[in-house]
Amino acid sequence: MAAQILDGKKVAEQIRSEVKAGVAERVKTGKSVPGLATVLVGDNPASHVYVASKQKACQEVGINSFGYELPATASQVEVEDLVKQLNADPNVNGILVQLPLPNGLDEENVLKSISIEKDVDGFHPINIGRLAQKGRDPLFVPCTPAGCIHLLKMTLPKLEGLNAVVLGRSNIVGMPVALLLVRENATVTICHSRSKNLPDIVRQADILVAAVGRPEMVKGDWIKPGAVVIDVGINRIDDVSRPKGYRLVGDVAFDEAKENASWITPVPGGVGPLTIAMLLQNTLRAAALLD
């Protein structure tokens, strides 16, 4: 039987309307308007698009958005000084430094300079470290991984004891999603470019999270019947039949995989919209930390 489609756009709309109500409630009771500062360094076109969508989403739910742009030639000190200024700004509850940073900048030190109470991306080494440790809780969880878990919990009564396979070990998605799955008591296997027998490992997965950035790498016959498939990949492939000359596909061959999966996210419109919804939720929580 063909899989049911996990409509991330619809789920994200629901979360965004809850955040909007939460912001309105704060303001009604005399509390501050939450504020998110975005820091964009350099001119990566995709980063510009992502940051613009984050700013627009803030405005739609009543969160103040403060956009900062620095040239690709900005020094480490300039970037960190801007972050420090935002740490001290009482109107800013969340700070998002869009990644990747231009070559030559030390990402870890930039992320470390963000106050953990304003780390709405959850990438500060302390927040990630807490995510990886038993009995510790991060203040914030990275947005795309949080979106993946949100979707999984909508489809499965519990994740405990299930075999979860994560394809990719990036700091932004693969590794934190694997850590979150461990916290849900799933049995987690992390695969990457050096993994052997990938199809056989994926065939064991009750849950598959694909985040490798390789178009349609996962074939339909890799999917265990009934598995839940979360496809984080967003890849452009040439398609002359489309007005733009390309179309977007995930890391999973959707048409094949949906014949075996029980639930599957489409690309676009799957995990992507959840990333921004989670960022808004984190920013509202950051404001509440100060109440």
By CB under 6 A, the residues from 233 to 272 that bind ligand GUN are none
By CB under 6 A, the residues from 150 to 209 that bind ligand GUN are 172
Question: Rounded to whole angstroms, how far apart are CA atoms 246 and 49?
Answer: 17
Strands 263-264, 228-231: pairing is: parallel
Nearest to 51 by CA among 95, 2, 7: 95
Question: Rounded to whole angstroms, how far apart are CA atoms 84 and 116?
Answer: 12
Considering only 11-19, 92-100, 215-223, 228-236, which stretch makes contact with ligand GUN by CB under 6 A? 92-100
Helix, strand, coil abundance in the chain, percent, nearest 5: 40, 15, 40
Considering only 97-105, 130-138, 193-201, 212-220, which stretch makes contact with ligand GUN by CB under 6 A? 97-105
Question: Rounded to whole angstroms, how far apart are CA atoms 214 and 198?
Answer: 14
Concerning whether 7 is annotated as a catalytic residue, the answer is no
Which segments within 221-261 are labelled E, that is strand?
Answer: 228-231, 235-238, 246-249
- Our CB check for ligand GUN shows the closer of 15 and 143 to be 143
The least distance separating ligand GUN from the CB of residue 240, rounded to whole angstroms, comes to 29
Q: 55, 118, 119, 121: which is the annotated catalytic residue?
A: 121
Concerning whether 121 is annotated as a catalytic residue, the answer is yes
- Our CB check for ligand GUN shows the closer of 142 and 201 to be 142
| Binding of residue 143 to ligand GUN (CB under 6 A) | yes
| Binding of residue 144 to ligand GUN (CB under 6 A) | yes
Q: Which residues make up the interface to ligand GUN (CB under 6 A)?
A: 96-99, 121, 143-144, 172, 275
